[in-house]
Structure formats: C-alpha cells, structure tokens
Amino acid sequence: MSESATEQTSKRKQRVGVVTSTKMAKTIVVQIVTRVPHPKFKKIIKRSKKFHAHDEKGEAAVGDKVRIEETRPLSKTKRWRLLEVLSH
C-alpha cells in the first residue's frame, strides 16, 4: 500500500452531531442523536449522547453541525477531536 492510501482508510470511529457547548478552552461538547429500535416493543426511539471533543482553533460555534473522530485520551473526558464543521 502506498502512503496516501493508508491515510484515507482510517479505522477510527467518526460521528456527526450538533455542538451544544463551547464554554471550555479548546473543548466543545457535541450531542449525537441515534435512532434505535426499542428492545421490547421494536418502535424506533431516539437516544442521545454527549461527547467532549478537542477544538484546537476554536472554529466551532453552538448549533453547528460537526464531524468528530476518535483519538487517544486527551484529558479525563476528552477522547474525540474535531475534524470539520459541516454547517453553521
């Protein structure tokens, strides 16, 4: 494999969500909403989870749709980093 091919095939998880907080220094809180079937009744329900992500340049704002990627532990709660801002 060439060097460029290994960069494109990342095994790290990526998620798309909405920024809910930017009050910490270089950190954003991203809320991810997933639709899953209820274990017993099989009706589709929404589950939400919040992730702390590293935002080095402070480019994300509250309400932005962003893509985050899994990374090594950066602090007690941060295990994700901001890849890109999809929309404002």
- In the chain, what are the domains? 12-87 (2.40.50.140)
Residue 10: the pLDDT is 72
Q: Is the pTM of this model over 0.95?
A: no
Residue 87: the pLDDT is 85
Residue 29: the pLDDT is 97
Residue 4: the pLDDT is 56
For strands 44-54 and 78-87, give the pairing: parallel
Question: pLDDT tens across 2-43, in order?
Answer: 555 555 677 999 999 999 999 999 999 999 999 999 999 999
* C-alpha dihedral, 87 to 61 to 82 to 88, nearest 10°: 0
| Chain centroid offset of residue 61 CA | 14
Question: pLDDT tens across 52-69, in order?
Answer: 999 999 999 999 999 999
Residues 6+ apart with CB under 8 A from 38: 44, 45
